[in-house]
Amino acid sequence: MKHLSGVDATFLHFETTEMPMHVGSLNVLDLPEGYQGDFYEDAKACLAARLHLANVFTRKLALMPFDMSNPVWVEDEDIDIDYHVRHITLPQPGTNRQLQQYVARLHSTLLDRSRPLWEFFIIDGLKSGQVALYTKMHHAGIDGQAGIEVGKAIFDMAPTGRVVKPPRPRARRSSYQLGVAELAGAALRNTAAQYIKVVKLMPALGRAARGLAQRSDATAAKDPRSLSRRFNLLAPRTPFNVSITNQRSFAGRTISLAETKQLARHFGVSLNDVVMGTISGALRRYLADSNELPAKSLVAGVPVSLREAGDSTANNQVTGMTVSLASDVADPVERLKQIALSSNASKSVVNRFKPLILDDFPTFAAPWFMSGMASLIGRSGLVNVLPPMINVAISNVQGAPFPMYFAGALVTCNYPVSIAAHGTALNVTVQSYNGRMDYGLIACRRAVPDVIEIGDYMLVEHKLLMARMQETPAANDEMTVPAKKPAAKAPAKSVRARATA
Positions annotated as catalytic residues are 139
Phi then psi for 335, rounded to 5 degrees? -60, -40
Cα Rg of the chain (Å, integer): 23
Q: Find out whether 140 and 8 touch, Cβ atoms under 8 Å.
A: yes
Q: Find out whether 338 and 324 touch, Cβ atoms under 8 Å.
A: yes
Assign residue 69 a region (left: φ > 0; alpha: ψ between -120 and 50; beta: otherwise).
Answer: beta
- Sequence-distant (≥ 6) Cβ neighbours of residue 376 within 8 angstroms: 382
**DSSP letters of 274-292?**
HHHHHHHHHHHHHHHHTT-
Bond from prior residue into 332 cis (ω within 30 degrees of 0): no
d(CA 230, CA 220): 11
Q: Find out whether 232 and 299 touch, Cβ atoms under 8 Å.
A: yes
d(CA 316, CA 210): 28
The three-class DSSP label of residue 466 is: helix
- Sequence-distant (≥ 6) Cβ neighbours of residue 301 within 8 angstroms: 320, 321, 322, 389, 390, 392, 393, 394, 424
Could you tell me the sign of the dihedral formed by the alpha carbons of 102, 279, 24, 414, in that order? positive
Q: Write the CA distances from 262 to 256, 257, 259, 334, 474, integer angstroms.
A: 10, 9, 5, 17, 10
Assign residue 178 a region (left: φ > 0; alpha: ψ between -120 and 50; beta: otherwise).
Answer: beta
Q: Find out whether 283 and 454 touch, Cβ atoms under 8 Å.
A: yes
Cα Dmax for the chain:
71
**DSSP letters of 307-350?**
PPTT---SS--EEEEEEE--TT--SHHHHHHHHHHHHHHHHHHH
d(CA 173, CA 104): 38
